[in-house]
Amino acid sequence: MTKRFPNNPAHPERTCWGCDRYCAASDMACGNGSERSQHPAELFGPDWSQWNALELTEEKTKPEPPPHQAGDSA
């Protein structure tokens, strides 16, 4: 069973979030590179888990209205 992933840990900078081991940043055992993987709250803010990925992709795929032309009379 995998460990529960915390939404907003108290000190995310002290842990490497790259795998399920959650090693201390100073003692990474998995060999996940030379730097620790940051927690999503560090990258995207404390409300990262509230985002709805489907809504974000739908906003990007909505067609944009054509730009207003200088010669058009409205």
Confidence at 14, pLDDT banded by 50, 70, 90: very high
Q: How many residues does the chain have?
A: 74
H/E run at residue 2 = none
Q: How many Cβ atoms sit within 10 Å of the Cβ of residue 6?
A: 14
Instruction: Report, as an integer, the average pLDDT of 35-53.
Output: 86
Amino acid, res. 62: K
* Region for residue 22 given its phi and psi (left: phi exceeds 0; alpha: psi -120 to 50; beta: otherwise): left
Q: How confident is the model at residue 32 (pLDDT cuts 50, 70, 90)?
A: low
The mean pLDDT of the chain is 78
Consecutive H or E run containing 40: helix 40-44
Contacts (Cβ under 8 Å, ≥6 apart) of 20: 2, 3
Instruction: Taking residues 5-20, report their average pLDDT.
Output: 89
